[in-house]
Amino acid sequence: MRKCCDKSLSCLLVNMSRVAKKRKFDKTRQDNLYFDSYSDVTIHEEMIADHVRTNTYRLAILKNSESIRGKVVLDVGAGTGVLSMFCIQAGAKKVYAVEACSIAEQAVKIVQQNNMEDKIQVIRGTVESVELPEMVEVIVSEWMGYALLHESMLNSVLYARDKWLKKPNGIILPDKAELFITPICEPIVEDRLHFWYTVKDNYGVDMSSMSDFARKCIKNSDISVSPVTGEDVLSHPARFAELDLYTTTAEHLRSVKGHFRCESFGSALVNAFCVYFSVSFPGPDKQQPLVLSTSPFKPETHWKQAVLYLDEPVDVMQDTLVTGEINMYPSEESDRHVCIHLDYTIGKQKTHSKTFSIPDWTAETLS
């Protein structure tokens, strides 16, 4: 999944993209643009280089070797085929690596380079359109997007589960996802707003009036994908949703919501909420599951975190109560793009509501 490495640059690019005209386009064109974005080497380099992501999948697959050995596996959205090859290393009998974009051609070469062509069959197409020669006993996929659901492939995994996974003993890796929210004090945005008050000291020109304009540009309704540190977090995170991949349906994904309740650690300025996710893999012999987390308290991943800026910051003190409800759902422009509606109350303030979305990076291409 795409990420901007620099936090301030990420905010700037996201804000600039809002000038693009929003239109609703047919699903086929949306899908083509989505898959085309995975045809470039950069995104695959970023994902493979994400050690937390790649190594957690490798460990999870190898630790579940007893469940994979001698089995037929389906890799949904196989990309370069790295997860498929991990499955062969774990003893899989056969892997069908389904990939919709042209990176499938490179996956074929990588499979041949690793002498696995007799066990891995790369199939070009979407999992919804291809036909497999047999049912499978294992589904593996790295389907997660920003804030878990933005441009994710979870719907495709659920489709594959219902059509191709043997019942009742088929397994899915990972098999659970959880979503969390916490209030934060994001210092960079406050520094950016204060910057306009420093121009006069540096250059002799008063540009403090730019602060209001900057606030509107930065603290808008965009979901900012940027790294949050543990020091920014102002309370214990609250889990507001859990998805069981064995039972979740596509209809469930039309509205993933939950309530949250947090208490602030101490005196601070709340200027945003942070949303992040984790996915878990079953442990062998009912051992503790292996968790891939995008928490601010864990090593950074290429997913970073989703930051939701408040229109106005709020001062909190020790144990100030922060409550609310969050709802994640597909945007009207594209089913692949997530919107987040937030109702929140901080301390004794009245309840505020705000709806956020990640701008459509393809809007200029489409218009």
pLDDT of residue 11: 41
What does the pLDDT read at residue 361? 54
Q: How open is the CA angle 255-258-263, to the nearest 5 degrees?
A: 150
46, 38 contact by CB (below 8 A): no
Of the given ranges (27-31, 41-45, 158-162), which has the lowest mean pLDDT? Answer: 27-31
- Number of residues in the chain: 367
Please indicate, yes or no, if residue 252 is contained in any of the structural domains.
Answer: yes
Return the minimum-mean-pLDDT range out of 1-10, 63-72, 152-161.
1-10
Confidence category of residue 4, pLDDT binned at 50, 70, 90: very low
Mean pLDDT of 17-40: 47
CA dist 358 and 343 (Å) reads 18
pLDDT of 184 above 90: yes
Q: Is 231 a domain residue? A: yes
In a domain, 63, yes or no: no
Q: What is the mean pLDDT of residues 260-267?
A: 96
CA distance 302 to 46: 7
Report which DSSP code applies to 22. Answer: P
282: DSSP letter: P
Structural domain range at position 259: 1-22+176-361
Report residue 316 as tokens.
């909190």
Over residues 240-257, mean pLDDT: 97
pLDDT for res 41: 80
Q: Is the pLDDT of residue 269 over 70?
A: yes
Say yes or no to pLDDT of 23 above 60: no
pLDDT for residue 332: 87
Structural domain includes residue 275: yes
CATH of the domain at 9: 2.70.160.11
215 confidence band (pLDDT: 50, 70, 90): confident
Q: Say how many domains are in the chain.
A: 1
Mean pLDDT of 16-37: 45
pLDDT band for position 360 (50/70/90)? low
Decide if 3 is inside a domain. yes
User: Is residue 122 domain-resident?
Assistant: no
Identify the band that residue 324 occupies on the pLDDT scale cut at 50, 70 and 90: very high
pLDDT in tens, 189-199: 888 888 999 99
Is residue 302 domain-resident? Answer: yes
For residue 286, what are its two tokens?
């009912």
Mean pLDDT of the chain: 88
Ranges of beta strands (E only) in 15-147 are 72-76, 94-99, 120-124, 138-140
The catalytic site residues sit at 142, 151
